[in-house]
Chains A and B, each alone.
Chain A
């Protein structure tokens, strides 16, 4: 594809996306990209910047996702919102990972993850991405493609499985090994599925999604085996966010990674809890690469 055609494809994609949201009265927002606190996420690193060098030097951090800033808006009564923005991540590696990429993030009030997944299918259809839709729970995917009962297999037993597949067993937490097994045993099998949602992750991988019993109401979208989106039934109360952040911060400390402060500013802005909603972040370049 020549440059002009590639630009037109992207332009058309953005126009169709905006039209899709506008038709449903979802409001486009822009949130700050230069933040006071880096992300707490253990395996995502913020890029630090020195600002105000001539006045009063301080550190700011490029956002790795617009999630927390958008959640401040949601807590303040924004209603359904979306954002298309560039996000920045440090220490990214791999053929499909970059220090900056474009993210589409949107939130639907009152939706659970299944309603949001259905909505995404409509969005993808608008964008010309169609095909058989598969929905597999995380546990089903492991059963079907790996013959593993992922929710009921303990850390030691998972290590034995990893070893038989020549996978590293050098992990401190079970969730990291679950993720490695998923990446190397399951993900490659999803290549044959044009449009596949994996949902209800083990509670150990809850991130910022609501937990119910053994599972977190979280989902990811794979297009022909490529991970393009990650969504949650969003946590609502500040106290639970604080627990999840602290958990990540403690993990960072035990891995010897750069210390991250608790985002007190975000927590205090949740004096009014988030309304019940589901949200999803979609990697635009990866999505575009799937559109002919």
Chain B
């Protein structure tokens, strides 16, 4: 993989740091009057999901990470592995359960997701911002409460628990924001 000099740094560029592929979130250049410029870079570790900060001297070069983001359709889960398909090539990708932390509860069959590949191996999945999930368990709602004040926990068909308004009952489909795990409406 090519090396990138600090002058090529931009948001979204993928670099290898401490053995993990990372994506640049922000890049701030500081140049003292008498002295060398430096780049203060915030990155997201694409394996752990953690945000880290690192400062390079300008001109330093860093190994790039062979990372690709592809739109793929989620097909099914066979218990330990998750199956996706590239809709253009019909290539199927099998993703290990380890890479699914934090997103298992938002995967709906047929939904288009973004799959991140590192050296051609899937390392993470980003579900759509909103998904439609079915409520499989929640306390009976209070009649007449349509204002949505308060709320109650509801378990979805995917296992994720979301705070929903009191009027939502079992069997209803609700829209959930996958970035915040919040209820986002009924349609």
Contact = CB atoms under 8 A, between A and B. Distances in A.
Interface of A: 41, 43-44, 92-95, 97, 165-168, 170-171, 175-176, 179-180, 182-184, 205, 207, 220, 227, 230, 283
A95 B34 contact: no
A205 B35 CA distance: 9
Given A95-B29, A220-B33, A227-B32, A184 B38 contact: yes
B52 interface: yes
Given A166-B55, A168-B60, A179 B36 contact: yes
Contact of A179 (B35, B40, B53, B56): B35
Interface of B: 7, 28-38, 40, 52-58, 60
B25 to A, nearest CB: 14
Given A93-B58, A168-B57, A180 B38 contact: yes
Nearest to A208: B34
A190 to B, nearest CB: 13
Nearest to A162: B55
B31 A93 contact: yes
Given A168-B60, A176-B57, A207 B34 contact: yes
A143 B108 CA distance: 56
Nearest to B55: A167
Nearest to A283: B33
B107 to A, nearest CB: 34
6 contacts: A93-B7, A94-B29, A97-B31, A176-B36, A183-B38, A184-B38
Contact of B40 (A93, A175, A176, A184): A184
A168 B29 contact: no
Given A166-B52, A166-B53, A183 B34 contact: no
Nearest to B28: A95
Given A184-B38, A230-B34, 16 more contacts: A41-B34, A93-B7, A94-B28, A94-B30, A166-B54, A168-B56, A168-B60, A170-B57, A179-B32, A183-B30, A184-B30, A184-B40, A207-B34, A227-B32, A227-B33, A283-B33
